[in-house]
Structure 1
Amino acid sequence: MAFEPNYGITAPAALALMAIERSRAAIEHLPIRAGLITSLRESARLLSTHYSTQIEGNRLTLPEVKQVIAGHGGFPGRERDEKEVLNYYKAADKAEVLAAIKRPLKEEDIQLLHGLTFEGRAKPAPYRDGQNVIRDGHDGHIVYMPPEAKEVGRLMKDLVQWINHTIAEKRVPAPVIAALAHYQFATIHPYYDGNGRTARLLAILILHRCGYGLKGIFSLEEYYARNLEAYYEALTVGPSHNYHLGRAEADVGHFVQYFCEGMADAFAKVQARTENMEVPAGEGLSEKLLRELRPLQRTVLGLFQKSQVVTSKEIAAYLGIPPRQATIQCATWVIEGFLVIADSSKKARTYCIANKWERLIA
């Protein structure tokens, strides 16, 4: 495992990490209904989609992004912008699904996120096969020279091994792991385009997998977009624009600090918003029930809010997983008492939520 990031936890980063933990603990103990979580998740997903694509030059406003996601697009001359937000929205959903799968991260997972983000296809995208140079849009001078294409495969393999090893070891705080993964992916720059969006999704995937997903009701991208200069400045470290002239070994503590401060800011906003919401009587019971569910089960509650009876194919489409995997998952959930078979016929088998969980979708 060759990747060994050079970083230090600055005093501001340490303070941000403590703030993250305080907000995370406060939010986890708030009695938030499944219906409200679904609404907050949708709002956060729209914000993430809007700001992550805006960073890359997308011209759609937030209200326009909402229209496109709802299927009411049609902005002449901005078809590419519409495609970008639709792709990112789907990829963000997929990142959460991948995070919930109980296995180590694979390179194919990251390639799949890029395939969805950049091409809109649920198919792993191969790395670039040539050199990529990032230039200043104003004067054309070289801003960054990433490693050669022949090195990308090895570097990505090292990165994924480091992520899995560090998560399993549990010595490095999850926000720091996500920050370093974001930075290193952007530094390797394994694709000709779409690296920034994929790097941000990779960070989100890691946070969800490490228990910092916050039910999907936060958006980091808004923090980046508010001050793009600070975001790019934090990503730019080392004595040279060339990966091989010190960029790879540079101290990335400044980016870790920036990332953690942005995460603390996002978590604090969610905490303030949820604490100010009126909590109906008996809501504590709903929160207790939610804590018994795993992330994938919490996610699928949104589908049952739309329809009381569903098929495994509908669950597969909603979660973005293969139909066969959804069939196996449904069988497991029936055994665990999460689902009940509504129609047992093999060709048209349907499922509904077990009585114990019905209040969560009321």
Structure 2
Amino acid sequence: MSFSESPVFIVGWPRSGTTLLAKMLAAHPGMACGPESHLFSKISQGTIQQALTSDDWVSSIAETVGGITLSGQGVLELYGHTASSFRDELSVRKPSMPEVLSALYSNLMTRTGAVRIVEKTPNHICHLDRIRSRFPKSRIIRITRDPRDAVFSMRKLPWMPDDIVAGSLLWDRWFRSSKDFFENDPLSMTVRYEDLATNCKVVLEEICEFIGENFDPCMESFYESSDTVFTPGESWKEDVSQPIDASRIYSWKKNEVDKEDLSLVSGICHKGIRYFEYEPSLVEPLPSFEALDSLSLASATVLARGLIENRCGFQIDINELSGRKLRTLKHNLMGFLRLISNIFSKRNSLVMFHSSK
């Protein structure tokens, strides 16, 4: 089997150990992992299909992949390619996503001598069915972390809103969207960050057995290997260049955190907390915000915070929602009203929309 046919995909939530796990697997002499490729999250299904079936598929794919950027740098550049060299790699291959991934990784595989691709893009957790359809023999690993730690840590990310509700909604969305896949897909597994940090060798041995590789001691000393899994512009990932700091586990219990924020995370993410067998929260669970999934995270946060903070009634400024987002909300109005009914159950409530326009 070609290494391009059976890569290992690592997915998960921001600040949940995806980079750490990628670095550990990349320390294995037979595996290599580069920066996040975003081949599925930044390229739509229709776009990739059109490019692969184009008469000049090489140029179409080179242009499509060449448009992906990560922290201000082009993905081709991060993988040591120019547009020309990437086209050359594609030209000797067949039009398929395994061959596109193989071409992207070609320089890294040559440099490291590895024979197995590890691809780590956390938000590929939202594109699992597409990955499975394009890579039917691949192994997919989801790494999770107690959301009460992960969501607070998300505030360190420059692209995340500094709003605990936004982080909680994102965590809950990704949990719900991936739950069925990992329950039913036989070539996938889930790892808890806390188990990896406290029982590293045992968990890595389990992962190696799952992906069909022999455990190598170099995986435990991952911090001694070169940094190929993140870019110079991703300073928040630099801690994987150090040994595991087990004191970071369950920081929400040890550090002084805002109690109201902690209640929000616990209330919104309560199903995932229970599902992954983390310590139960004493906070009353909030109703599911699934009805807001069709909205952008920013718009859903506006609505969710209004619902949470004003239990006796709230108003939404429509000016904060774009026309397209507002139409989407109206399209999903019945689900939205059910959400309101759940949150305001046994209360007299008023929902008011207003606009200054």
Asked whether the two chains share a fold, i.e. TM above 0.5, the reply is no
More strand by share: 2
TM-score (norm 2): 0.30
TM-score (norm 1): 0.30
Q: Which has the higher contact order (CA 8 A, sep 6+)?
A: 1
More helix by share: 1
